[in-house]
Amino acid sequence: MSLILYGIPNCDTVKKARAWLDARQQPYQFHDFKKAGVPEARLPQWIAQTGWEKLINRQGTTWRKLPPELQAQIQDAAGATRLMRDQASLIKRPVVEWPDGSVTVGFNETAWAEKL
């Protein structure tokens, strides 16, 4: 299994993460949520490993622009999955599937160095 980085290319955190991997000559596949969509089949694994709460970016513009009734729908994994599938920008980025099968959310140089 190769390293797969999921995100949006213009996201600053994704840019930092990709630059960090490139600087270490670490090969990876990039999955662009905007072009390829959210890989719905992967969401259950991400939720199982990280928790749905960690996957939802409640600090971002997309979350703040959601009507309160949509925000209120996120009470459990099923509600979070529906909204993440429909609103890729709600997913905290980057999501990384590591060669060892683990999944991380966000960019943390120290944690990533340990993974490599």
Spell out the domains of the chain, with CATH numbers in brackets.
4-115 (3.40.30.10)
Active centre residues (catalytic): 11
What does pTM read for this prediction? 0.89
CA Rg, the chain, in Å? 14
What's the pLDDT at 1?
A: 62
pLDDT grade for 116, boundaries at 50, 70 and 90: confident
DSSP state of 15: H
The 10s digit of each residue's pLDDT in 27-79 is 999 999 989 988 988 999 999 999 999 999 988 888 889 899 888 888 899 98
The answer to whether 93 and 13 have CB atoms below 8 angstroms apart is yes
Spatial contact of 97 and 1, defined as CB atoms under 8 Å apart:
yes
